Amino acid sequence: MAKPPDHVPAAGTLGESGEGFQVLDTTLRDGAQRDGISLTVGDKITIARLLDDYGVGYIEGGWPGSNPRDTAFFQQAAKRALLRHSQLVAFGSTRKPCTRAAQDPQVAALLRSEAPVVTLVAKAHDWHVTHALGTSLQENLDMVADTIDHLRSEGRRVFVDCEHFFDGHHANPAYAAAVVGTATEAGAEVVVLCDTNGGTLPRAVLGTVRELLAGTSVRIGIHAQDDSGCAVANTLAAVDAGATHVQCTANGYGERVGNADLFSVVSALELKYDLRVLPAGALSRSTEVSRRIAEAAGISPASHQPYVGSSAFAHKAGLHASAIAVDPQMYQHVEPSRVGNDMRMVVSELAGRSTMDLKCAQLGYDTRRHPGLAQRLAAAVKEREGRGQDYQDADASFELLLRDIILPSPARPFSVEQSHTVERHDVQEGVPVITSAVMIRTPSGGLVTGTAESSDTIESVHQGLREALGQHFGTAVEWIDLKRVTVRFLSDDSLGARVRVHVRAADAGSEWSCTGVGATIAEASRQALTDVYCFALTVRHANAGKPRRVHPRPGA
């Protein structure tokens, strides 16, 4: 583990609430500035509760007075005593030029929010003061001092977000430092240096924060936008230089490309800097909290997000798997369970025997009882992927392939003997009519045919197959639903045009995915759908109610 920087308090020296080192989450304010997010008051309450349970020190709830929903959120938060662990923070700006903070309606709304802490955004770049705000450099300093003074006189703790600090410091270091000095003298508890345009790189952050800290005793914070892909790195660079307050958003949501991701930052601070910034045990809930916040925000979870993404600990390359079989940490920077995530083996043409051994163990099969199985499986997967198949997101098809090899035949509950799909155009209705007839052979050797019509090819094949299965298996197939079907047209000089279909299916208890490939959509979907029902009628039935083993340790 890397040694923490010298200035950082050692683990155990921080208060239970993280007072020694402050984490401020601004998902409900800056996160809501991401295009595509529109949080209702209820969504905000849900996210605030998740963050509060997770244990961040401060939750910035929005800008009271700027819109009805933010105002209502603060009213509800006050009425319900929403937060148990975290401090609620209201965000707003310094007063308007040439007025008094006591007369500024926006500042009054901050007080009315009843939040005990206020983050004030203040201009720190001289060009922004003169050209965007349209006032003098001195008046901007007066706005900072007057607003802090007024809020403090009303009993609020004040954090100051120095907007465009790094660009401003580059252009006019003396003025940027004067804004920090003014905020400090007026009693700001934290002065937060913002990389508002996200263009600053870690080396500049490190140098600038270090330089600033040499001349001030105020607590310095960092707020980094991710426009250069450096928000997390910049946040950690500021901590390296001595910052002890970090502003982040869940899953990095935020204006333009986003902010420093809360889960990456707290994971790094806890696991790599050995700092306790969350209550004991909270870090291991990171993956769950990340996904629940994504759900509340209406954004699909990012599979490749560091630490908490579903692919953060997914291993595809055969050589990686062979070392993981010795010790998973050989190809992992942290143990996945520390952040509540899982290790996952990905089956593909890039896999070798070790991937197959580990994957089979994850699926609950002991390959040691079947000498040569891993090798045969790897060869079968490579050969099929060479024909266009893709097993990466099709564990159920892989498990059927594995069972085809290890079980005495017939391993499957039925086989498709024939299937035909024909399309005609209904002139009266003006739509295509696709008819599919699917003949299956049952375990007793009987033949059953199902026929269906639809305007959609996959639906027609699906209903034809289901009709045939229903005649033999009865209600056993009725509880199966298709959740998602994806079709990809493959162009490969050696194969000619091919179609690949992925189907995600579900019953009341779980979901599973299958794949098929063929010259037509009908052929590819028939293969994938056959796997869907074979899996349901064998593996799902056999495992109903039984937990799957998911974390095989080598030799376990």
Residues that bind ligand ACO (CB under 6 A): 63, 66-67, 93-94, 96, 121-123, 132-133, 143, 163, 196, 255
Give the total of residues touching ligand PYR (CB under 6 A).
8
Rounded to whole angstroms, how far apart are CA atoms 228 and 238?
16
Q: Which amino acid is at 267?
A: S
Q: Which of 459, 437, 457 is nearest to 448 (CA)?
A: 437
Which C-beta is closer to ligand PYR: that of 109 or that of 396?
A: 109
- DSSP secondary structure code for residue 103 in this structure: G
| 226 binds ligand PYR per the rule CB under 6 A | no
Instruction: Give yes or no for a contact between 89 and 115, defined as CB atoms under 8 angstroms apart.
Output: yes
Which position among 194, 437, 439, 517 is part of the footprint of ligand PYR (CB under 6 A)? 194
Q: Give 317-356 as a 3 state SS string.
A: CHHHHHHHCCCHHHHCCCCHHHHCCCCEECCCCCCCHHHH
Provide the minimum distance between the beta carbon of 163 and ligand PYR in the complex, in angstroms, as a whole number: 4
Which C-beta is closer to ligand PYR: that of 223 or that of 472?
A: 223
| 121 binds ligand PYR per the rule CB under 6 A | yes
Instruction: Give yes or no for a contact between 351 and 384, defined as CB atoms under 8 angstroms apart.
Output: no
Which C-beta is closer to ligand PYR: that of 132 or that of 330?
A: 132
Provide the minimum distance between the beta carbon of 357 and ligand PYR in the complex, in angstroms, as a whole number: 48
Residue 110 binds: one of ligand PYR, ligand ACO, none (C-beta under 5 to 8 A by kind): none
Q: Which of 414, 432, 449 is nearest to 529 (CA)?
A: 414
Q: Which amino acid is at 389?
A: Q
| 223 binds ligand PYR per the rule CB under 6 A | yes
Edge-to-edge strand list for the sheet holding 415-426: 415-426, 431-441, 447-454
Residue with tokens 């991401």: 34
Which C-beta is closer to ligand ACO: that of 32 or that of 439?
A: 32
Q: Which of 182, 205, 207, 203 is nearest to 195 (CA)?
A: 205
Rounded to whole angstroms, how far apart are CA atoms 409 and 390?
24
Which C-beta is closer to ligand ACO: that of 71 or that of 267?
A: 71
Q: Which amino acid is at 104?
A: D
Rounded to whole angstroms, how far apart are CA atoms 513 and 101?
60
Residue 122 binds: one of ligand ACO, ligand PYR, none (C-beta under 5 to 8 A by kind): ligand ACO
Q: Whose CB is nearest to ligand PYR?
A: 194
| 25 binds ligand PYR per the rule CB under 6 A | no
Which C-beta is closer to ligand PYR: that of 225 or that of 463?
A: 225
Q: Compose the 27-56 pattern: x for residues touching ligand PYR by CB under 6 A, - for all others.
A: ---x--------------------------
Which C-beta is closer to ligand ACO: that of 123 or that of 353?
A: 123
Instruction: Give yes or no for a contact between 319 and 351, defined as CB atoms under 8 angstroms apart.
Output: no
| 147 binds ligand PYR per the rule CB under 6 A | no
Which position among 52, 163, 189, 531 is part of the footprint of ligand PYR (CB under 6 A)? 163
- DSSP secondary structure code for residue 8 in this structure: S
Provide the minimum distance between the beta carbon of 26 and ligand PYR in the complex, in angstroms, as a whole number: 7
Instruction: Give yes or no for a contact between 90 and 113, defined as CB atoms under 8 angstroms apart.
Output: yes
Residue 222's SS3 state is strand
Which C-beta is closer to ligand ACO: that of 144 or that of 374?
A: 144
Residue with tokens 């079968």: 380
Instruction: Give yes or no for a contact between 512 and 529, defined as CB atoms under 8 angstroms apart.
Output: no
Which C-beta is closer to ligand PYR: that of 26 or that of 341?
A: 26
Residue 225 binds: one of ligand PYR, ligand ACO, none (C-beta under 5 to 8 A by kind): ligand PYR
Residue 223 binds: one of ligand ACO, ligand PYR, none (C-beta under 5 to 8 A by kind): ligand PYR
Residue 67 binds: one of ligand PYR, ligand ACO, none (C-beta under 5 to 8 A by kind): ligand ACO
| 208 binds ligand PYR per the rule CB under 6 A | no
Handedness of CA 86, 92, 94, 99 (dihedral sign): negative
Q: Which amino acid is at 13?
A: T
Provide the minimum distance between the beta carbon of 94 and ligand ACO in the complex, in angstroms, as a whole number: 4
Pairing type for strands 117-123 and 447-454 reads unpaired
Which C-beta is closer to ligand ACO: that of 93 or that of 513?
A: 93
| Positions in the binding site for ligand PYR (CB under 6 A) | 30, 121, 161, 163, 194, 196, 223, 225
